[in-house]
Amino acid sequence: MSEIVISTADLRKEFTVSTRVGLLRRARRTVPAVAGVDLTVARGEMLGYIGPNGAGKSTTLKMLTGVLTPSSGEVTVCGFRPVAQRTRLARQIGVVFGQRSQLWWDLPLAESFRLLRYIYRVPAADHAARLAECRRLLDLDAFLDTPVRQLSLGQRMRGEITAALLHSPEVLFLDEPTIGLDVVSKQAVRAFLADLGSRGDTTLVLTTHDLADIEKLCRRLVVIDHGRVVHDGTLPELHARYDSRRRVVVDLDTPWAGRTGVPGAVVEAVEADGHRVTFGLSGGTAGELVAALARDGALRDVAVLEPDIEDVVARLYAEPAGDDRVASR
């Protein structure tokens, strides 16, 4: 087994929030944002930490990076306890919070990068080499001299990622790195991260609501809901668990009359007065189904759809996470 870079045991964070009731009285309420997360991540993994809004993803990341003190439980990242050894950990990790800038608002991007060299104490040659690499891969040159506050979101995000990598961290934490980006910027960021991850010595932990990010970047998925892990495994495992199917959509010359019996295919939808039928495959192959339909004649067109991660995730989120969760609500 390869080296462990992140491990947590029964990690919890509760927030006490007080809400006004009446003129002066306030009611205090405890929100269990993270409710017992056990997580082990090995060096070089690309981990997608996903879950619906308010599931506790950002809160977990903040505990892993030393920003928030856990209410209870154990955390070790790169061999350090994040809060107690915050500054030492900070040298080993890079952080990109999509919603919030880590850069200096009034400084040009290039100036921020220069400042970071001193803050992280990076040797001049290493810094120059890494910056050159990021400039090339992320196309930074056009806006290096622009103050951060004048950058577009996509430009800023590329700057943020560069800033997080200049000290060549062991682990890169990304909280919604593609949020609000257009298709082109998303692809640029994704391609860059995929490349970084494939080099194998940087561990990536990212949260996202973008399912394409998950498919392109995450070899392993940890799904959390209401502060608990509800799934931990690869994308294919997730599909298997939720029995998600490839689909075959066929267009027919004559309306569908429910003739074909192919084991392992279920009719999911009949549209256009029976001229278009969608089959879900569970066991059977697309080839067998198409062959059977062709035997019956009247087959005009065929499309095969890959299993849809969006569906799986939607189903996952909708599913209750067990008894404790019901109790905690």
Partner 1 sequence: MADLLWRRATTPTGRPGALAGYRQLLAAQVRSQLQYRASFAMDLVGNLLLTLMDVAAVVVLFRVTPVLGGFTLPEVLLISGLANLSFSLCDLAVGNIDTMRQYIRTGRFDAVLTRPLSALLQLVCGDLALRRLGRVTQAVVVLVIALNLAHVRWTPARAVLLVVAPSFGAVLFGSVFVAGSTVSFWFIESGEFSNAFTYGGRDFTAYPITVYAGWFRKAFAYGLGFAFVAYYPALAILDKPDPLGGPRLLSWSSPVVALAAAGVAAFIWRIGIRHYRSTGS
Ligand X SMILES: Nc1ncnc2c1ncn2[C@@H]1O[C@H](COP(=O)(O)OP(=O)(O)OP(=O)(O)O)[C@@H](O)[C@H]1O
Q: Of 41-49, 102-110, 218-226, 236-244, which segment contacts partner 1 by CB under 8 A?
A: 102-110
Residue with smallest beta-carbon separation from Mg ion: 58
Binding ligand X by CB under 6 A: which of 11, 35, 37, 55? 55
Q: Does 155 sit near partner 1 (CB under 8 A)?
A: no
Give the residue with the Cβ less far from partner 1, 120 or 317. Answer: 120
Q: Which of residues 220-279 bind partner 1 (CB under 8 A)?
A: none
Q: Does 145 sit near partner 1 (CB under 8 A)?
A: no
HEC string for 134-199: HHHHHCCHHHCCCEHHHCCHHHHHHHHHHHHHCCCCCEEEEECCCCCCCHHHHHHHHHHHHHHHHC
Give the 3-state secondary structure of residue 101. Answer: coil
From the CB of 64, what's the least distance to partner 1, in Å? 11
DSSP string for 235-304: HHHHHHHTT--EEEEEEESS---S----TTEEEEEEEGGGTEEEEEESSS-HHHHHHHHHHTS-EEEEEE
Residue 118, binding choice from partner 1, Mg ion, ligand X, none, Cβ under 5 to 8 Å by partner class: partner 1
Q: What's the rounded Cα separation, in Å, for the pair 6 and 143?
A: 35
Q: Of 35-43, 127-135, 266-274, 300-308, which segment contacts partner 1 by CB under 8 A?
A: 127-135
From the CB of 226, what's the least distance to ligand X, in Å? 9
Give the residue with the Cβ less far from partner 1, 130 or 156. Answer: 130
Distance of CA 165 to the CA centre of its chain: 19
Residue 55, binding choice from Mg ion, ligand X, partner 1, none, Cβ under 5 to 8 Å by partner class: ligand X
